[in-house]
Homo-oligomer: A and B are copies of this chain.
Amino acid sequence: MPDDFERMWTDLAPVGRSTASGGYFRQPFTTPERELSAWFVEQCTARGLRVESDDFGNVVGWWDTGSGPAVLTGSHLDSVLDGGAYDGPLGVVSALAAVDLMRARGVVPTRPVGVSVFVEEEGSRFGLACLGSRLATGVLDWDAARVLTDRDGVALGDVVAGGSSSLLASVGTFVELHVEQGRDLVDRGAAVGVASEIWPHGRYRFDFTGAANHAGTTRMEDREDPMLTYAMTVLAANKQARLAGQRATFGRVAVEPNGTNAVPSSVTAWLDARCSTDDALAELVSVISAQASDRASRDGTSLVVTAESVSSSVAFDPALAAAVAADHEGGDWPVIPTQAGHDAGILSAAGIPTAMLFVRNPTGISHSPLEQASIPDCLVGVSALADTLERLTA
């Protein structure tokens, strides 16, 4: 008898959790994340799902039933640094529970159903979000990916074999269930919703270079201090995003030599920008970069901006979204946009008809230990996912 939703949820709760913050550190190919991956294989095996892995660490548990193009559902098990419990694992646990629920209902799908886990969705270790799904879809070449390094200089090619993937070869439709990362469903009073689109978004590395010097003996006017250029850029990014009604964040920074009594030689910082259209994203990054360069010339510092990843707008298959959302007891599920990237966006862009389900998050907060979803809402999510899989495999 496979574990039910609450039992699975309880089992995962302590893995990679910081007792200090209550947040999760489940970086790809580290012990906690590998423990979760092993747990997933056990759960698949307990359900008689056939486990298939690719050379990148992505895994699918197949319910070999019916014939024709498969319906795949799942999410990821990695977290951001100090992240919440739900972002990723909720979609995986709900997928397993939805299979259980369909079987309990006596449903026999006419098409194969797969439960998937893609690695490094957050990009918290190797810097590129949706790494596993980019590799599985072939959007990203292994030769380009293998040289990506983490903060300690360890290359992706040193932690995973790499090669090829045929996990998606038979997939006709993908469905990802995910905790909502805003408060749209709270405002609408709905436990679940369906995604309409993902905003375009990108990560841009800003390398500010100055000249290290003594913090005491160097006159203010003799400095070439990249921290000043960085600070002005942080404020400019915030102001421009507000003015444009878009999103811009500097949440990560690395300073050299990072000593209290030394003017820094360099500051490296990462801009996360998200906009309602591709043009708005290009414009926002352009304005922020221009203001930063202007300030750099006044500070005697230099600036190089590198786009590390840029994802265009993803509109999910509108007919599929409508079909998933319509005709439910209690009315249609709301269809809402999201500003967060997902593996579903990669698969959709790669031509696989894709839908996303969101589960209400009372705090609206995510990428934080404060991220939440109630157990009753989670169980509504499981039921909604089972309903959706039934419709798609009827």
Contact = CB atoms under 8 A, between A and B. Distances in A.
A252 B213 CA distance: 13
A259 interface: yes
Contacts of A10: none
Contacts of A252: 255, 258-260
B251 A258 contact: yes
Interface stretch (A30-38, A234-242, A377-385): A234-242
Contacts of A124: 259
Interface stretch (A39-47, A57-65, A222-230, A316-324): A222-230
B257 A261 contact: no
A365 interface: yes
Interface string A360-394: 00001111111000000000000000000000000
Name which of A255, A256, A367 has the most chain B CB atoms within 10 A of its CB. A367
A21 B241 CA distance: 36
Interface in A252-306: 252-253, 255-265, 270, 272, 274
Contacts of A262: 80-83, 251, 367-368
A122 interface: yes
B225 A249 contact: yes
Contacts of A258: 81, 251-253
B215 A249 contact: yes
A242 B370 CA distance: 41
Contacts of A368: 211-214, 262, 265
A365 B255 contact: no
The number of chain A residues touching the other chain, given as a range, is: 35 or more
Given A80-B257, A263-B251, A369 B216 contact: no
A366 B263 CA distance: 10
A169 interface: no
Interface stretch (A67-75, A189-197, A338-346): A338-346
B259 A255 contact: no
Contacts of A81: 257-259, 262
Contacts of A217: 181-182, 338-340, 364, 366
Nearest to A250: B227
Nearest to A81: B257
12 contacts: A82-B257, A181-B217, A182-B214, A201-B216, A203-B260, A212-B367, A213-B367, A214-B366, A214-B367, A227-B234, A227-B253, A251-B260
